[in-house]
Structure 1
Amino acid sequence: MVDRPKKPSALATTPGLPPQAQVNISHSNSRVSAVLPTGESVEILLYGATIISWKDAKGNEKLWLSEAAKLDGSKAVRGGVPLVFPVFGTAPDHAPTSKLPQHGFARSSRWEFLGKSTSESSTLSSSSAGDDSVKLDFGLSPSNLSEESRKAWPFEFGLIYSVTLGRESLTTSLVVRNEGEKAWEFQTLMHTYFRIKDISQISITGLESSPYTDKVLSGASFTSPSTALTLSSKTDRVYTPAGGPSSAVIIKEGGKKKFGIVRDNMSEVVVWNPWAEDARGMADFSPNEGYKEMLCVEAGAVKGWQKLEQGETWEGGQVIMAAN
């Protein structure tokens, strides 16, 4: 059902109605949070539409957020799920985006909250449990941008970013539309920081026998071995998984599945961990040893450019499944 802003609050507790997902706007209208009847929750900053928390029904946090992350809109958030658009990293040789800061402006602009929608279980046995999921929609257009960003990237566009909280999953999807008369190009990425217990116990499958570029080694190209990926030093790689977007990338800890990621129209997967030296060098990365408890596995469209002509639309996203 679609939420109505002036819906009587009594409806939420009317006898006979199944429990509903609760959505709240807090922190002086700067954050949106949602909680399912079963206890799962998500919290999103309107600054960057950045997801800063995702918890299961027991209250266990799934995302890593730096203790020094700025949540006041003064700079992009270190942790959670920042959204990269319209450029991945920097692109000094790509004239249309050459003047933009690293990772573009989406993660450092204030988005509009467009509303929520919910879904109930389709099975009779569990329908009494109430809403199975809640979808939160956020919008960004040129009117939301700073004057500096508008000058650096003077194109007409519309973005709709949807965050769907399920009982065992988190889905993020982005719709990009060219609202102007001129064609333009973009890159995008969902920069997910996963919370783990021990990086030395992590292995990643789904990237075997796949081409990748290694940004630690000046962008050199390689093909990954046929074994699972483990990390023991600074890692910054862009993979194009051989199995395609619908083939799951699995994060295991101690041999047990922790997360599974399936992508839609996102051909690349970035794997990043700053390791000790780089973590110490980032003022907003805290604690310094936090690199042992985080891992970025990021779904994106970042090799080459997505081009949109006037009126054209692009859509992509990811579904993250969390193991109990």
Structure 2
Amino acid sequence: MAIEETETQVILSHPSDSSTNVTILKYGATVFSWKLYGQEQLWLSTAAKLDGSKPVRGGIPLVFPVFGKNESDPLLSKLPQHGLARNSTWEFLGQVKSNPPTVQFGLNPKLSNPEMTKLWSEDFNLILTVELGSDYLKTEIEVENLSSSKELKFNWLFHTYLKIPDIEDTMISNLVGMKLYDQLLKESFVDKHPCVTFHGEKDVIYQNVEADRVIQVVNQGKPVHTVKRVNLPDSVVWNPWIEKSGGMGDFEPKTGYKEMVCVEPGHVHDFVVLSPGEKWTAAQILSKDELKYQAIQ
């Protein structure tokens, strides 16, 4: 079967090769495993909770309606870090395509975490579409403002944990010349380095990245991941390194930082604002394309 549903998960297998598959947890609608020809592409903490008790550490958590912890907006500041989407059980809406196998999940205030909807009482509808290609994984989000009178203001982010061989041999290409905000230094500047390298904790937000920029994770000169964005102008690059990993109870093994890097397409340096009845869609596409170097235009 191309689509298998259990009480807590949905599993898609590609019809041409069942060793290419994706597993989505209904809690958070979190993709926590994506295998290409049997090889895992996503990093998942061995201490990740898959029982709905807390957001998953690893895979592709969904960040909505706020990125990080907001401290200025009177409504969004009431929410915990990264909002309510990853803390809520989504409804499995079913299969919408057989080849490539494609499914949808939905979330609205009636379904979302009740403790959080008390804090943020906006009227929204989310539809997540997960499409498993023979050599790619596409996750697409549609956000609709269901209010008839109020604007809807939000951030969105695919918090993607990519599995890699070794962080010290890894770099990220095609972000040279892009403006970034360094969340550790609390400074903004243009990145003039030909590639992003890792020698310690990294937590940066690349802002307004050109739409045609193809972000690639490269290990020892070979591309291991390609990240394409649709209507997502920002990209967070994150690795917790030694000290931060040690302080996170659900990050295991503590040396796991060596085998993961987060490249997170989103809309986070400012807010998306939807008028009443308006919809917004965006997507990320993960694949393993050939090396493509894009210089400063």
TM-score greater than 0.5 by the shorter chain: yes
Q: CA-to-partner distance for each residue in 1:110-165, whole Å, 9 max, x for gaps?
A: 0001111335xxxxxxxxxxx3x111100001101232211111111100011111
Query: Unaligned 5+ residue runs, structure 1?
Result: 1-20, 120-130
Partner residue, 1:199: 167
1:87 aligned to which of 66, 75, 78: 66
Confirm or deny that 1:102 pairs with 2:84.
no
CA distance in 1, matches of 2:251, 2:159: 15
Partner residue, 1:66: 45
Q: CA-to-partner distance for each residue in 1:154-180, whole Å, 9 max, x for gaps?
A: 111100011111011010110000001
1:293 aligned to which of 259, 262, 269: 259
CA distance in 1, matches of 2:24, 2:128: 11
1:51·1:81 contact (CA, 8 Å) conserved in 2?
A: yes
CA distance in 2, matches of 1:42, 1:299: 19
Q: CA-to-partner distance for each residue in 1:58-100, whole Å, 9 max, x for gaps?
A: x110000000001111111000000000000011101120100
Which structure 2 residues correspond to residues 177-188 of structure 1 after superposition, within 5 A? 177-181=144-148, 182-188=150-156
SS in 1 for 2:272: strand
CA distance in 2, matches of 1:155, 1:228: 40
- Across the aligned residues of Structure 1 and Structure 2, the Cα RMSD in angstroms comes to 1.2
- TM-score computed with the length of structure 1 as normaliser: 0.86
Task: From the CA coordinates, give the structure whose radius of gyration is larger.
Answer: 1
Which structure 2 residues correspond to residues 241-320 of structure 1 after superposition, within 5 A? 242=209, 244-320=210-286
Q: CA-to-partner distance for each residue in 1:201-225, whole Å, 9 max, x for gaps?
A: 11111110110000111x2111101
Q: CA-to-partner distance for each residue in 1:271-304, whole Å, 9 max, x for gaps?
A: 0000001101100000000000000000000011
Tell me the CA shift for residue 317 of structure 1: 0.9
Q: Which moved more, 1:92-101 or 1:285-294?
A: 92-101
Partner residue, 1:134: 101
Partner residue, 2:27: 47
1:168·1:323 contact (CA, 8 Å) conserved in 2?
A: no
Partner residue, 2:14: 36
CA distance in 1, matches of 2:39, 2:208: 30
1:50·1:83 contact (CA, 8 Å) conserved in 2?
A: yes
2:170·2:197 contact (CA, 8 Å) conserved in 1?
A: yes
Q: Which amino acid aligns with 2:9?
A: R
Query: Unaligned 5+ residue runs, structure 2?
Result: 291-297
CA distance in 1, matches of 2:215, 2:113: 36
Confirm or deny that 1:117 pairs with 2:83.
no
2:95·2:104 contact (CA, 8 Å) conserved in 1?
A: yes
CA distance in 1, matches of 2:80, 2:208: 28
The 1:313–1:241 alpha-carbon spacing in structure 2 relative to 1, beyond 3 Å, is closer
Tell me the CA shift for residue 323 of structure 1: 4.9
Looking at secondary structure, tell me which structure has more helix per residue: 1
Partner residue, 2:120: 153
SS in 1 for 2:55: coil
1:248·1:260 contact (CA, 8 Å) conserved in 2?
A: yes
Q: Which moved more, 1:289-298 or 1:173-182?
A: 173-182
CA distance in 2, matches of 1:35, 1:281: 36
The 1:311–1:216 alpha-carbon spacing in structure 2 relative to 1, beyond 3 Å, is same
CA distance in 2, matches of 1:134, 1:279: 35
Tell me the CA shift for residue 226 of structure 1: 4.2
Looking at secondary structure, tell me which structure has more strand per residue: 2
CA distance in 2, matches of 1:157, 1:297: 27
SS in 1 for 2:79: coil
